Amino acid sequence: MANVEFGWMPPVGDNTLPRQEFMGNLQRGLDTIVGHFDSVWFPDHVQFDDSHFLEGWTTLTYLAAREPRLKYGHIVLCQLFRNPALLAKMAATLQYLSQGNFIAGIGAGWNEAECKAYNIPYPGPGQRVDELDEALQIMKALWREDHVTFEGKYHRVTDAFCQPKPEPIPPIMVAAFQPRMLHLVARHADWWNIGYRDLDSARELVTKLDAACEAIGRDPKTIRRTAMIGCYCAPNEQKLQELTSKHKGPFGPGLTGTPKQVVEQFKPIVDLGIDYFMINGGGFPDTTSLELLAHEVLPALNART
C-alpha cells in the first residue's frame, strides 16, 4: 500500500481580512505543512456570488515561488477559461520555474454563472467533455513533441512549438464523477480526483472508474486516486465545536474529531485505494486542524501502510 499523502487547500472565500493579515496567515499555513504535507492546491474560479476570490493561476504561481519545497496544483483548472495550447505553454513554464513541482489538475468546467458574468462561452455538458478531450490531446502532444498540428472539432493548433519542455511531464489529474468523464480519466489521466461526500458514494465511483479502465484495457491501478475533503481536527470537543461552527467544507463537514477519531474515519477511505487527500481544514487564522493533521493524523495513517 502506498503512503498516504496530504495536500492543503488554503482558504479562498473568506479573505476579507486585511491584506497583510491574510498574507501572514497564508505564510503561517505554509510553514505548518512543509515537511509534512506534500502539496498546496488552489481552485480555478473567477467569482462566487459576492465572495472575495483570488484568481487561481496567479495565486498558485506566487505560492510556488514562496515555498519551493512543496508541490502545487489546481483543483481544478477550468478548461473553458484558456486556449489549451496556451495552457500547455503556461504549465510547461511553471514546471520549469518550479523545478518540477507542478501537477496539472483540470476539469470540464461547471460554474455557468461565472462564465456568463465574464462572457466566457458555456456549452452543454457533452461539448464540454469533448472540448476537454481535445484539450488534453493538445497539451500532451505539446509537452512531448515539437511542431504539433492538431485539427479537432473545437480546438486546433498548427505547427505549434513548446520549449522548454516540462521536465518531468506534469501528472495530469482529472476531476470526474459522471460516466463520460470517468472514461476520459481512463484514457488520459495519471491521477483522478473526486470531492469526498461519503464512503458509499466514493466506493461507487471507484467501481465505475475501474470498469472504465477495464473497458479500454488499462490497469486501474495505474491511476492514482485522490479526494478533496473537508477535515476539522481538534484536541477536544470544545475546540472542535468552535472550528465547525465557523467553517464549512465545500462537500459538507467532512471528517471531524480528535486526531484518533479522524484517523479511524480516514482508514476505510484509504482502503478503497484513495491515498492522496486535498485537505480543506478551515479558515484563517486558526491552524489547529493543519497542525494536528501534520503531526498526529498523517504519521498514524502511514504507520499502518
Q: How far apart are CA 66 and CA 57, in angstroms?
A: 14
Contact 63, 30 (CB under 8 A): yes
DSSP code string of the chain:
-PPPEEEE----S-TTS-HHHHHHHHHHHHHHHTTT--EEEE---S-STT-----HHHHHHHHHHH-TTSEEEES-EETTSS-HHHHHHHHHHHHHHTTS-EEEEEE----HHHHHHTT-----HHHHHHHHHHHHHHHHHHHH-SSEEEE-SS-EEEEE---SPPSSPPPEEEE--SHHHHHHHHHH-SEEEEE---HHHHHHHHHHHHHHHHHTT--GGGSEEEEEEEEEE-SSHHHHHHHHHH---BTBS-EEESHHHHHHHHHHHHHTTEEEEEEE---SS--HHHHHIIIIIHHHHHTT-
Query: In which residue are the cell numbers 496556451 written?
Result: 86
CB 102 within 8 A of CB 94: yes
Looking at the domain that runs over 5-37+176-302, which CATH code has it been given? 3.20.20.30
160-176: burial string, b at 16+ Cβ within 10 Å, e else: bebeeebeebbebbbbb
- Per-residue pLDDT at 282: 79
Cα(216)–Cα(185) distance, integer angstroms: 11
The distance from CA 274 to its chain's CA centroid, rounded to whole angstroms, is 14
Residues 6+ positions from 99 with CB-CB distance below 8 Å: 68
pTM for the full predicted model:
0.95
pLDDT by residue for the chain (305 residues), tens only, comes to: 579 999 999 987 655 678 898 899 999 999 999 999 999 999 999 998 888 889 999 999 999 999 999 999 999 999 999 999 999 999 999 999 999 999 999 999 999 999 999 999 999 999 999 999 999 999 999 999 999 999 999 999 999 999 999 999 999 999 999 999 999 999 999 999 999 999 999 999 999 999 999 999 999 999 999 999 999 999 999 999 988 887 766 666 789 999 999 999 999 999 999 999 999 987 777 899 999 999 999 999 999 65
Give me 97's grid cell. 520555474
pLDDT of residue 301: 97
pLDDT at position 15 is 58
The C-alpha atoms of residue 215 and residue 211 are separated, in whole angstroms, by: 6
Q: Which three cell numbers stand for residue 27?
A: 505564510
CB atoms within 10 A of CB 234: 23
